[in-house]
């Protein structure tokens, strides 16, 4: 949750992305359309839990519970290395949970801008046919034709450098740092260096897709001082990613950060053919009235 800033005073150490800022005193619409003054705050809230699964319907964070049958054809071979042909592409599934940990623990519940929902399984990509097919998804998101090519991948070099330092370039929405281009927005990945990098790549593709469909809102930036707003592309810097499975990691990642910084040291350097689970922290701006 740190750093936390209250009225311009930072606590807990660390730093926030440049877009995540609140003035000490803020104004937001109150009752009867009258702007009300408040205290500007920023903090990080654990909000989502995502499983990147190779076996359809296998809920790894729920003890391996199987909730789907008849989807065996979607099982991923999760091939990595310098393979050629079809085996060089990995296709994974996402299981998306609403996981408002602060709300569950009744922490900071008096703040009006806190997420007060409960734990919930919100999405399974196995039942979404467009997640399995690059062609259909490219029709739904036609900008794929602009970015899902070698030129698009080459343009992501500056973002890869910035993401390695934990500062992704939000304006390059088609990029995911060292993992490459996020398009097409399906479960396929050609990131072959490791299962960790490939799984983070698929998670980023899902989150960009969910942002386009208004499932994830912008919570940082001057446009989000009073409430979360819809933006057509994801603000990657407003998310922190904590790997929690197959092994917990004490290194927080951002989308696009090389797995050599967070996932390639023992015991996190697991063998191939593995699921991953990530706890997703969301940067929040709050005008506490």
Distance CA 251, CA 154 (A): 28
Distance CA 5, CA 69 (A): 47
All structural domains of the chain with their residue ranges: 4-288
- Mean pLDDT of the region 263-267: 61
DSSP 270: -
pLDDT of residue 85: 44
131-157 pLDDT, tens digit each: 998 899 999 999 999 999 999 999 999
205-247 pLDDT, tens digit each: 999 999 999 999 999 999 999 889 999 999 999 999 999 888 7
80-116 pLDDT, tens digit each: 444 444 455 788 999 999 988 877 666 665 566 766 6
* Confidence check: pLDDT of 79 > 70: no
pLDDT of residue 238: 96
Q: 228: burial class by Cβ within 10 Å (0-12, 13-18, 19+)? A: middle
* Confidence check: pLDDT of 182 > 60: yes
Q: Give the position of tokens 């499932």.
A: 215
Q: Which residue has the higher pLDDT, 56 or 271?
A: 56
Q: Which residue has the higher pLDDT, 53 or 261?
A: 53
Distance CA 289, CA 286 (A): 9
pTM of the model: 0.89
pLDDT of residue 80: 47
């Amino acid at each position: 949750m740190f750093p936390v800033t209250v009225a311009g005073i930072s606590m807990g150490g660390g730093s926030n992305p440049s877009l995540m800022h609140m003035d000490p005193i803020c104004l937001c619409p109150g009752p009867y359309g009258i702007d009300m003054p408040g205290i500007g705050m920023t903090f990080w809230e654990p909000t989502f839990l995502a499983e990147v699964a190779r076996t359809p319907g296998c809920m790894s964070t729920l003890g391996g519970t199987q909730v789907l049958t008849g989807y065996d054809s979607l099982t991923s071979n999760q091939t990595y290395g310098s393979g050629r042909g079809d085996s060089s592409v990995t296709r994974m599934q996402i299981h998306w949970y609403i996981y408002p940990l602060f709300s569950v623990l009744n922490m900071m519940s008096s703040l009006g801008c806190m997420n007060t929902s409960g734990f919930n399984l919100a999405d399974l990509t196995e039942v979404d046919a467009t997640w399995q097919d690059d062609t259909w998804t490219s029709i739904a998101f036609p900008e794929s034709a602009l970015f899902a090519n070698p030129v698009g991948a080459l343009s992501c070099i500056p973002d890869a450098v910035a993401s390695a330092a934990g500062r992704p370039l939000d304006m390059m929405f088609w990029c995911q740092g060292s993992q490459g281009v996020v398009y097409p927005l399906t479960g396929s990945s050609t990131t072959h260096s490791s299962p960790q990098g490939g799984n983070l790549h698929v998670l980023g593709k899902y989150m960009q897709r969910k942002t386009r469909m208004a499932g994830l809102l912008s919570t940082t930036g001057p446009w989000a001082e009073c409430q979360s707003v819809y933006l057509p592309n994801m603000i990657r810097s407003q998310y922190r990613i904590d790997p929690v499975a197959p092994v917990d990691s004490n290194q927080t990642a951002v989308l696009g950060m090389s797995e050599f910084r967070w996932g390639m040291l023992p015991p996190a350097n697991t063998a191939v053919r593995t699921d991953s689970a990530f706890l997703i922290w969301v940067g929040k701006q709050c005008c506490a009235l």
